Amino acid sequence: MSKQNQNIAEENGESLVHRSRRANIIAAVLCVLFAVVVWAFVMNAEDATEVELQLPQPAAGYTYTLSDDSIDIKGRIMDVKRVESIEIVVPKEFQVAGTHTLSLEHLILPEGVSPAAAVEITLTVTETPQQ
């Protein structure tokens, strides 16, 4: 483009950008590196959410009642989003009528996930009347 045409283009608010192939490749590589850094940050970020607790079937003649139906969990975003519910293991000694305190060792937590706070859940086991 001649100098005269370039001056006319600049007067009309148009600008011309001339880049070399090398500059375009460097810009593309920098963009990819930036995208990888952002992706790594997002994938390792921590998140917390509330998930439902799942009880096993009670023994015949008994019913289970929990003090809390859900628990707050935390972990990497990727791990937390995969969790739909947390299973509870009821030990044999808790399968009798009464009130029992469940702790972290009674929960089956997926890998990469942990409780957001201390776990103390009350399990009430009651006998159902025989008819």
For the beta carbon of residue 123, count every other beta carbon within 10 angstroms. 19
Q: Which helix (H) or strand (E) holds 9?
A: helix 3-11
pTM assigned to the model:
0.62
In 3D space, the residue among 103, 107, 39 whose CA is nearest the CA of residue 77 turns out to be: 39
In 3D space, the residue among 63, 78, 73 whose CA is nearest the CA of residue 124 turns out to be: 63
Average pLDDT over residues 61-76: 89
Q: Helix or strand or coil: residue 125?
A: strand
Q: How far is CA 29 from the centre of its chain?
A: 30
| pLDDT above 80 for 50 | yes
**Can you count the helices (H) and strands (E) in the chain?**
3, 8
What is the pLDDT, as a whole number, of residue 119?
A: 85
Average pLDDT over residues 7-25: 68
87: confidence class by pLDDT, cuts 50, 70, 90: very high
Average pLDDT over residues 82-109: 89
26: confidence class by pLDDT, cuts 50, 70, 90: very high
State how far the alpha carbon of 75 is from the alpha carbons of 4, 50, 79, 110, in Å.
63, 12, 6, 10
Is-contact 122 100, C-beta < 8 A? yes
Read off φ and ψ for residue 49, nearest 5 degrees: -155, 170
Average pLDDT over residues 38-53: 86
